Structure 1
Amino acid sequence: MRILFAGTPSVAVPSLEALSDAGFDIAAVLTRVDAPQGRKRVLTPSPVAMRAEELGLQVIKANRFDDAVLAELDALALDAAAIVAYGGLVPVRALTIPRHGWVNLHFSLLPAWRGAAPVQHAVLNGDDVTGASTFRLEEGLDTGPVFGSMTETLRPAETSGEVLDRLSVSGAMLLVQTLSAIDAGSVEAQPQRGGITLAPKITLADARIDWNQPAVAVRRRINAVTPEPGAWTTAGNQRIKVGPVTPPDEAPDRSRPAVLPGRVLVQGNDVVVGTGTGPVLLRRVQPAGKKIMDAPDWARGALAHGELVFE
């Protein structure tokens, strides 16, 4: 089967590697143009572009499907296109180019969490089970019929980044199986069934912690936005990024006294922050303009001049 692979971030790399290892004829790899990275804003190829070049594959860099890109895809004589987190909309004209259409690997159990941030919303919502689906791409947002799916348990302590890393590997195997079945003519996509939930992109405002919420909700929000865009709070006029926390029922010492929501205290060797239902153990913080550090190291300086309250 002669295919196009479309993807951009590191989460798409396992799928590209799996398709290559499985022997698919990858005619070209479509990815977004080089983007500025780091403090010096150096133009850097996407993770998919870098891996494709290592594999000796043709790379097409484009953020939109203009006439030149469409002509290039037309000339490839594609049987199918596989897309994983490409980061742009595929127009109707492009959908008709491959003989078997486009197969999208999406990191949710469709129709749950249609949209740009399915894993983040699953973690934020406290889902017990997550997974991945392969479906035929169509004009609607993640509305196409499903070829197959796989499930995995969501662990309470996992961040969305950790979950996505797991799903990127198991989902890659699902994508290989789906394209192999399409090539063999042994699978038919089925309409999506069940309750629809939406997963729009997580904004920086969504990543702000409300310490008045219960400890479990605070933890879910922090886990959901880790590593991107990163959970944050303020102390005075300073913005502080906060890493994952441990709720009181999982902390080694469960006999912690009550702490007002947002108040930061050092208790023995631990740093705790109050929430609406009890203190959580703070592990890592990153003050504005500084590197991430262990909470006790940060607290020694931050609390040197009196009490501290996160807002």
Structure 2
Amino acid sequence: MRIVFAGTPQVAVPSMDRLVEAGHEIVGVLTRPDAPVGRRRVLTPSPVAARAEALGLPLLKASRVTDEATAQLAAWNPDAAAIVAYGGIIPPAALAVPAHGWINLHFSLLPAWRGAAPLQYSVIHGDDVVGASTFRLEEGLDTGPVYGTLVLTPGPEATSGELLAELAESGAELLAQTISGIDAGRLEPRPQTGEPTYAPKLTLDDGRLEWSLPAVALHRRARGVTPEPGAWTLLDGARLKLAPPRLRPDIQGVPPGRLAWAGRAVVVGTGTHALELTRVQPSGKKMMPASDWARGAGDIEGTVLG
């Protein structure tokens, strides 16, 4: 099948590679323009752009799908389009270009967590299972009929970043199987059923930990916002970045936000039991073990975060 592939971040690369391995012809790749990366803000191609160039595939860089971009998509004459985390809206004129439509790999079990940050919200809300869906893209926000799903049971310490890396690989196979099923004429999508939930893009404020909340809720939030936008708190008015902490139900009675030593571990109080800080990153420094930071900071007993 002749395929246009649309995607931008690293999580989309396995899907593009798998479609090539499956024998589909990638007639063109749509990705977002080069973006500044690192402290020096060097303009850098997206991971999908870099991989497409390595594969010698025609490439279209566009921050949004304009009439001109739609004309280029039509010139490629695709049978279908596959889209994984492109990062932009596909307008109706572009949706109508391929005969078999646009097939989206989305990292949730639709209709759960429609939107930009599905895995992050799955982890934050403590879902027993996470997963991915392939569905036919339409004008509504992730509302289209579903072709297939896969389910993953997350580990108790898994971050959204770790789960996304795992689902990027298994989801690539799901997407390839979906495209092949459509090509063979044996796969039809089914309307979504159930009450939808929504996962809008996370902001920096979503990573702030409020220590009056229960430890389990804070543990989930920290894992859900790792690696982006990242968990953090305030210390003396400055932002202190945090790796996901560990649950310490054996330590009770530490007031919310207060730091304390528990043997060689640094713990912080919450609305229930304590959490153990694992790694921290003070402003202007690298991430380091919390115990090393605490020893270097002097007497941390009684210091209050937040």
Give deviations 1:39-60, integer Å, cap 9, x for gaps: 1100000011111111121111
Which SS does the other structure have where 1:247 is aligned?
strand
Is the Cα–Cα contact under 8 Å of residues 302 and 308 in structure 1 kept in the other structure? no
Match of 2:264 in 1: 269
Letter in 2 for 1:119: L
- 2-structure distance, mates of 1:267, 1:303: 16
CA deviation profile, 1:215-241 (whole Å, cap 9, x unmatched)? 100100100100000011001111101
Q: Which residue of 2 aligns with 1:181?
A: 181
1:259–1:153 distance in 2 versus 1, CA, 3 Å: same
- Structure 1 residues 259, 306: CA separation in 2 closer, same or farther (over 3 Å shift)? closer
Give yes or no for contact 1:145–1:190 (8 Å, CA) kept in 2.
yes
Shift of the alpha carbon at 1:195?
1.8
Q: Which one is further off, 289-298 or 79-88?
A: 289-298
TM-score for the superposition, normalised by structure 1: 0.96
1:59-113 residue CA offsets vs partner (Å, 9 max, x unmatched): 1111111222111111111000000000000000000001101000000000010
Deviation at 1:155, TM superposition (A): 1.9
Identity over aligned pairs, percent? 60
How many residues are aligned here?
A: 306
Given that residues 266 and 299 in structure 1 are in contact (C-alpha distance below 8 angstroms), is that contact kept between their aligned partners in structure 2?
Answer: no
Q: Which residue of 2 aligns with 1:39?
A: 39
2:275 corresponds to which residue? 280
Q: Is the 8 A contact 2:123 2:220 kept in 1?
A: yes
Other-structure match for 1:28: 28
Q: Is the CA contact (8 Å cut-off) linking 1:128 and 1:155 kept in structure 2?
A: no
Match of 1:6 in 2: 6
Q: Does 1:289 align with 2:280?
A: no
How far has the Cα of 1:125 moved from its partner? Answer: 0.5
CA–CA separation in structure 2 for the residues paired with 1:197 and 1:66 = 30
Question: Residue by residue, what CA displacement relative to the aligned partner does 1:222-279 show, whole Å, maximum 9, x if unpaired?
Answer: 0010000001100111110111111014xxxx3x352111111122211111111111
1:246 aligned residue? 246
With over 3 angstroms needed to count, the CA separation of the structure-2 counterparts of 1:85 and 1:266, relative to structure 1, is same
SS in structure 2 at match of 1:3: strand
Matches within 5 A, 1:48-197: 48-197=48-197
Off by >3 Å, runs of 4+ in structure 1 = 303-307
Please tell me the residue identity of whatever aligns with 1:45: P
Instruction: Write the distance in 1 (CA, Å) between the matches of 2:237 and 2:224.
Output: 25
8 Å contact from structure 1 (residues 7, 86) kept in 2: yes
Seen in structure 2, the aligned counterparts of structure 1 residues 102 and 305 have a Cα distance that, compared at 3 Å, is closer
Asked if 1 retains the 8 angstrom alpha-carbon contact of 2:259 and 2:301, the reply is no
- Deviations 1:169-224 (CA, angstroms, capped at 9, x unpaired): 11110000000000000011110011211111111111110111111001001001
CA distance in 2, matches of 1:209, 1:305: 19
**Aligned partners of 1:8 and 1:48 also within 8 Å:** yes
Secondary structure at 1:165 match in 2: helix
Instruction: Structure 2 unaligned segments of length 5 or more: list them.
Output: none
What CA distance in whole angstroms lies between the structure 2 residues aligned with 1:9 and 1:74?
A: 24
TM-score w.r.t. the length of structure 2 is 0.98
- In the alignment, structure 1 segments of 5+ residues that lack a partner are none
Q: Distance in 1 between matches of 2:111 and 2:152?
A: 16
1:260 maps onto 2:255 in alignment? yes
Question: In the superposition, relative to structure 1, how do residues 257 and 69 fare at CA in structure 2: closer, same or farther (>3 Å)?
Answer: closer
